[in-house]
A = this chain, B = another copy of it.
Amino acid sequence: MAKPPRAFVRPPTAQEAVLVELRRRILTAELAPGVQVLQEAFAEELGVSRVPVREALKILAGEGLVRYKPQHGYFVTEHSGEELLEVYRIRQLLEAEAVRVGLGGLTLAGLAAMDAEADAVESAARQGDVAALIAANRRFHFTLFEASGRKRLVRLISQLWDAAEPYRASYFADQDNRATVPSEHRELAAAARRGSVPEVVRLLDAHRGRGMRALQGTEGFSG
C-alpha cells in the first residue's frame, strides 16, 4: 500500500503545464480573486509564449475559475458571500448524493485510505503546513465521494470545492480552525466504517457548515 513518491511527469504540452500552475496559484489565492491575469507577463515568467497561456485560461474560463471579458482579458473569478453560500448549498445536495450512492460500496482499502488521509491532515495541521493540509483534507473527502463511482458527480463537487478554495486559504491559516478539523474527520471515518448513511451525511453537513460559518466570519463577506 505504500505509495511510491509520485513519478515526475513532465506535462506533454506547455498548455498543460501552464494550466497546472495557473490553477495552483488561483486556488492558493496567490492570484487573488478579482485580479487580472496578464498574459504577457505570465507567459514570460513561465518561459512560454502567450498562446499556451491563453489556452490554459480558456479552460479555466470554461470551468468558471476565471472570467473572460472580450478585449479586456481574464480575471480570477470573484464570489460574493451569497454566491459562496450557494456553492455550499449545492455541495450539500451533491455530497449527500455521493454518500448515499457510495457508502455501501466503500471498500476496506477506501476506509484505510480515509484513515491515512485523516492522519495526514492532522500532522499537517500540527506542523502548520497549510498547503499539505488542504491537499490531504481534499483527498480525505474525495476518497469518500469517489466510492460512489460517479465521475460526473465527483467532478461537479470538485469544481464547487475549487470555487470556494481561494477564500479558504486564510481560514486554515488560523490555529483554532486547524484544531477542530481532525477530530471531525475521525468521527466521519468512524461513521463511514459503521456504514450509516444518515450519520455520515449529518456529520458532513455539520463539518461543512462549520467551514462555511468560519468563512463568513473571516472574509470581506458582502456582495
Chain A residues near B (Cβ < 8 Å):
12-13, 16, 51, 54-56, 58-64, 70-71, 83, 86-87, 89-90, 93-94, 97, 150-153, 155-156, 163
Contact = CB atoms under 8 A, between A and B. Distances in A.
A16 B70 contact: yes
Contacts of A64: 155
Contact of A61 (B59, B150, B151): B59
B87 A152 contact: yes
A70 B13 CA distance: 7
A131 to B, nearest CB: 24
A16 B69 CA distance: 11
Contacts of A151: 83, 86
9 contacts: A12-B70, A54-B55, A58-B59, A60-B62, A61-B62, A62-B63, A90-B94, A93-B97, A152-B163
Given A62-B60, A93-B93, A152 B51 contact: no
Protomer copies: 2
A195 B64 CA distance: 33
B71 A12 contact: yes
B83 A90 contact: no
6 closest Cβ pairs, A-B complex? A62-B62, A58-B58, A59-B62, A12-B70, A62-B63, A55-B58
A150 B79 CA distance: 13
A109 to B, nearest CB: 23
Nearest to A93: B93
A99 to B, nearest CB: 13
